[in-house]
Structure 1
Amino acid sequence: MRLVGALTGVFAMSQVAAAQPSALSDDTRIDRLTDEIVKMIPLGPELDALAAADPRWPLQSIAPEDVKPEWLSCARESLSTRGYREYRRAETAEYANEYPDRVDSDLAVLSAGAAEVFAELARQGIEAGKKNQDVSDPKALVLEVLRKSDPQRRNAFIAFASGEEHTLLRRFVGVESTHGKVQSGQTFGDGLVQRLMEATMKRCRIPDSLRRPAQG
């Protein structure tokens, strides 16, 4: 499925009102930007569902006798709705520290509706993928989601997806590579989950040598 990749062939440049300087504190701005990114990519419920389905997840690939209880507890806490937001919040703080002049504009475009439209596109893409692994016309799905969106949300999403001023934001959330190439849905999703897993293994101090399939 290439839903995110389809954006390059669908959208033309669009403008939204320029963000005004914010009177909010830095922490509040970071919290709000984090909330929009989590709304945009709502991975938490998916992680919670995986945990509910398997009491050994996410360490089921490690032999049971090698798994310490504290590792499993730490990993499950990290890979949860709460842990996902904490991970995104830490990333967002680093982004805001590196690009402080981008925060207000990025927050404005996401809160204007870009995050909600992206989340709906992701939701419908996931549902379509469950029914048919090879979605025949991803551009049609993108256009259908936009057609049902109100003008403000639609324009905000187009600005986020194609506006040069939001290039850093697209790269930050993982939609666009550092080479300017829009990531496919599969690449985008896999990359985010991989980063989360790597951060979890490091945080929970799980040795690399134990990342092997369980026997039997």
Structure 2
Amino acid sequence: MTRFARRCMTALVASAAGLLMALPAAAEPAGARVARLTDLVVETVPMGEVLGRLAATNPDWPLQENPDLVSAGQLACLRDELSEGGYRRMKRTEVVAYVAEDAARADADIALLEAGAAWMMRQLMLAGVEEERTGIPFDEAQIMAQASEAQLGAFMQMMTGEEQASLRVLLGIGEAYDAGRSADENEAAGEQAGGDLATRIVLKAMANCSIPTSVLFN
């Protein structure tokens, strides 16, 4: 568990940041269910916060190398899409479709995330981002020590449970961890998942702002 937290999750978030620089719950009304699951999704994988931190480093981010390749309006649109609010809007659209497909599954996912899976993932991911920024390894044991047995159990269920495969897709992490793989294999899978997540976010934002993907290759 500790080695997974140290190598797999750090790799997942560091890769994304670098590219960008089950318990049943009581049924809820559709609107409330979507709102709650959206909150939990953006809490669990806090890419919105990471995007916000990156945007604060340069007013021309994420095109600081070639800001003249787009108009001022396109850059403003892109920064809005790649903001905490933009990330939330993107995930909410996905959550709406997810809930419509299977409301009972969404309720079970809400319960699991609220049981500690969201909190645990968030702590590990933000610690991984800070490690990438500073180069100072984080103390995963200290993070683990703050979690209860129930929280750790919920986290591992989210990461490995067969019934949570669709939730992992919704979160954008895919199969970043597999107990049957070696630590090196999980690290590589984490890097791949992080890169894929960052790429999807960027490409979706560019499409929404009518920015050609050729900008990425200049």
Specify the TM-score bucket, using the shorter chain as the normaliser: 0.7 to 0.9
Alignment match, 1:38: 42
Say whether the 8 Å CA contact 2:55–2:62 is kept in structure 1: yes
Q: Which amino acid aligns with 1:163?
A: G
Preserved CA contact (<8 Å) 1:48 1:81: yes
Task: Kindly name which structure, 1 or 2, has the bigger radius of gyration based on alpha carbons.
Answer: 1
Q: Distance in 2 between matches of 1:174 and 1:113?
A: 18
List runs of 5+ in structure 2 lacking aligned partners: 1-5, 12-21
Partners of 1:206 and 1:87 lie apart in 2 by 17
> Hey, what's the Cα distance between the residues in 2 that align with 1:107 and 1:170?
13
**Partners of 1:5 and 1:167 in 2: CA distance:** 21
Distance, in Å, in 1 between the alignment partners of 2:91 and 2:172 is: 12
Is this contact kept in 2: 1:106–1:169, CA < 8 A? yes
Q: Does 1:148 align with 2:146?
A: yes
Deviations 1:114-157 (A, max 9, x none): 10001111122223344548x6xx9x93x653333023322221
| Residue of 5, 9, 25 corresponding to 1:4 | 9
Write out aligned runs for 1:84-95 (5 A). 84-95=87-98
Instruction: State the AA in 1 paired with 2:95.
Output: T
Count of matched residue positions in the alignment of Structure 1 and Structure 2: 196
Alpha-carbon offset, residue 5 of structure 1? 9.2
Compared with structure 1, are the counterparts of its residues 187 and 108 closer, same or farther at alpha carbon in structure 2 (3 Å cutoff)? same
- The residue identity in structure 2 corresponding to 1:185 is G
C-alpha distance in 1 between matches for 2:95 and 2:153: 24
Which residues in structure 2 correspond to 1:195-206 (within 5 Å)? Answer: 195-206=200-211
- What is the one-letter code of the residue matched to 1:146? M
TM-score by length of 1: 0.78
- Give the CA deviation at 1:192: 1.5
Report whether the alignment pairs 1:51 with 2:55.
yes
The residue that corresponds to 1:10 in the other structure is: none
Measured in 1, the distance between the counterparts of 2:24 and 2:167 equals: 15
Q: Distance in 1 between matches of 2:122 and 2:80?
A: 23
Give the whole-Å Cα distance in 2 for the aligned partners of 1:167 and 1:112. Answer: 18
- For residue 54 of structure 1, what is the amino acid of its counterpart? N
1:117 paired with 2:124, answer: no
Question: Does the CA-based 8 Å contact 1:62-1:211 persist in structure 2?
Answer: no
2:81 partner letter:
S
Q: Cα offset for 1:21?
A: 3.9
**What TM-score results when the alignment is normalised by the length of structure 2?**
0.77
Please name the residue that 1:13 is paired with: none
**1:159 equivalenced with 2:157 (yes/no):** yes
Q: Which amino acid aligns with 1:82?
A: G
State how far apart, in whole Å, the 1-side matches of 2:60 and 2:53 are: 13
Paired with 1:167 and 1:131, the residues of 2 have a C-alpha distance of: 33
Q: Structure 1 residues 92 and 67 mapped into 2: Cα distance closer, same or farther (>3 Å)?
A: same
1:53 match: secondary structure: coil
More helix by share: 2
For the structure 1 residues 48 and 131, does the alpha-carbon distance in structure 2 shift closer, same or farther, using more than 3 Å as the test?
Answer: closer
Q: SS in structure 1 opposite 2:85? A: helix
Task: Please give the alpha-carbon distance, in whole angstroms, between the structure 1 residues aligned to 2:215 and 2:160.
Answer: 42
* Distance verdict in 2 for CA 1:50–1:132, change over 3 Å: closer
The answer to whether 1:191 aligns with 2:184 is: no
